[in-house]
Amino acid sequence: MTKNEEFKSIYDYTLDELKGMLKPSFRAKQVYNWLYKKYVSSYDEMKNVPKELKEDLEANYPIDVMEIIKREKSLDGSIKYLFKLRDGVTVEAVLLLMKEKKIGEDGVVERGEKYTVCISSQVGCKVGCSFCLTAKGGFVRNLTVGEYIAQIVNIKRDNNIPENKALNIVYMGMGEPLDNFNNFTKAVEIFSELDGLAISRRRQTVSTSGIASKIKKLGEKDLGIQLAISLHAVDDDLRSELIPMNKAYNIASIIEAVKAFPVDTRKKVMFEYLVIKGKNDSIEAARKLLSLLNGIQAKVNLIYFNPYPGTTYQRPEVKDMLKFKDYLNERGLICTIRESKGLDISAACGQLKEKEANGSTWDSTFDIYRNSSGSVSSRFLCK
């Protein structure tokens, strides 16, 4: 039995599939409404669904696919979740809150909140990036389609996020989404169902460590989602050191695959670039990056490398980051320095899971994690 069959759930299905499964088919829309507009956590709550059907669904397609076992709330409002799945393994997701400025109907500036949720794709990961905690645990298994969907439903429920409030999804948590291709692409489809969560595909961004063959395959499916590439280096030696999979898919093959990827004329492919002092922070590296990305609707996001115990790499100087950024911007390539959210929580991929495994403590309110060493991380998300 595959994990998909073993851990099937009601969240695995598109509306059309459910219509084919439930008789009469209008029940499918009712069930969808309870799941994705009301975020119910049990079939009991589905008031207009007959008892026998609920019992049948409960027995065959469970709703409770994961439980929240930890949450860390940052002072900036971001919340990191640790979920326990049915086989006892854990994955993380992060809700990032950003301030939003909108002009209301009466012309008055309103302040609101913008939600972005970073979700996981796998338990563990095969890619083995040298700077990543998730990589250290090796690969355990792919998430099912339902486990992708349940991360968002749980977070929306936990925060009472109104069903009509726009939300962005980044597939940037634990694991490599393109290595879980079929489940990930089906999740994109279910997330965007108008009768379901209705999260537009333009609001969904997949971040990949650069499996060139799968970027091509994804481009051919033309799902309308955004693409982000963890590039991190302009030469193959350094990139292979950081992301060993670069030996199989080198920089040239990734760039070729990205050039074939359909990008909306108003959108850009994001290139994440982890800046390491003395390794890839020179103007020469910026020049190479500019030339590599020539002909791509690209934007570059610089990330400060944050040293962790055992690494020989160092954090870059602020002045070098700014020089790098200015060099690209002055030549027409949009470049930003990543604003780190969740600085006071373990928001980088794998940190909360590791902390839980090491038995770190939580304060009595349960919401704010007290880091015993007092240190904070400026990395967030995995890639």
Q: Which is nearer to ligand SF4, 185 or 208 (CB)?
A: 208
Q: What is 11-41 written as a DSSP string?
A: GG--HHHHHHHSSSTHHHHHHHHHHHTS--S
Among 31, 129, 300, 345, interactor with ligand SF4 by CB under 6 A = 129
Q: Which is nearer to ligand SF4, 161 or 352 (CB)?
A: 352
Among 79, 91, 123, 127, interactor with ligand SF4 by CB under 6 A = 127
Question: How many residues make contact with ligand SF4 (CB under 6 A)?
Answer: 14
Q: Which stretch binds ligand SF4 (CB under 6 A): 77-85, 122-130, 291-299, 308-316?
A: 122-130
Among 132, 187, 215, 255, interactor with ligand SF4 by CB under 6 A = 132
| Least distance in angstroms from the C-beta of 350 to ligand SF4 | 7
Given 72, 92, 176, 272, which residue is catalytic?
92
Among 15, 96, 117, 135, interactor with ligand SF4 by CB under 6 A = 135
Helix (H, G, I), strand (E, B) or coil at 319: helix
Q: DSSP code of 339? A: P
Q: Which is nearer to ligand SF4, 316 or 350 (CB)?
A: 350
Binding residues among 34-63 for ligand SF4 as defined by CB under 6 A? none
Distance CA 304, CA 378 (A): 8
Q: Which is nearer to ligand SF4, 204 or 209 (CB)?
A: 209
Among 74, 78, 90, 134, interactor with ligand SF4 by CB under 6 A = 134
Q: Which is nearer to ligand SF4, 125 or 335 (CB)?
A: 125
Please answer whether residues 227 and 215 qualify as being in contact, where contact means their C-beta atoms are separated by less than 8 angstroms: yes
The site string for ligand SF4 over 165-184 (x = CB under 6 A, - otherwise) reads ---------xxx--------
Active site residue 92: yes
Binding residues among 207-266 for ligand SF4 as defined by CB under 6 A? 209
* Amino acid sitting at position 26: F
**Exposed (0-12), middle (13-18) or buried (19+): which is 169, by Cβ within 10 Å?**
buried
**Exposed (0-12), middle (13-18) or buried (19+): which is 383, by Cβ within 10 Å?**
buried
Q: Is 272 in the site for ligand SF4 (CB under 6 A)?
A: no
Distance CA 10, CA 23 (A): 15
Q: DSSP code of 315? A: P
Q: Which is nearer to ligand SF4, 125 or 153 (CB)?
A: 125
Residue labelled with tokens 């991190």: 232
| Least distance in angstroms from the C-beta of 132 to ligand SF4 | 3
Buried b vs exposed e over 274-292: b needs ≥16 C-beta within 10 Å? bbbbebbbeeebbebbbeb
Distance CA 261, CA 217 (A): 9
Binding residues among 291-350 for ligand SF4 as defined by CB under 6 A? 349
Q: Which is nearer to ligand SF4, 176 or 281 (CB)?
A: 176
Residue labelled with tokens 């780190």: 340
Which of 245, 238, 312 has its CA nearest to residue 274? 238
Q: What is 186-247 written as a DSSP string?
A: HHHHHHT-TTTT---GGGEEEEES--HHHHHHHHHHT---EEEEE---SSHHHHHHH-GGGG
Given 129, 335, 349, 382, which residue is catalytic?
349
**Binding positions for ligand SF4, rule: CB under 6 A:** 125, 127-129, 132, 134-135, 174-176, 209, 349, 382-383
Mind telling me the catalytic residues?
92, 349
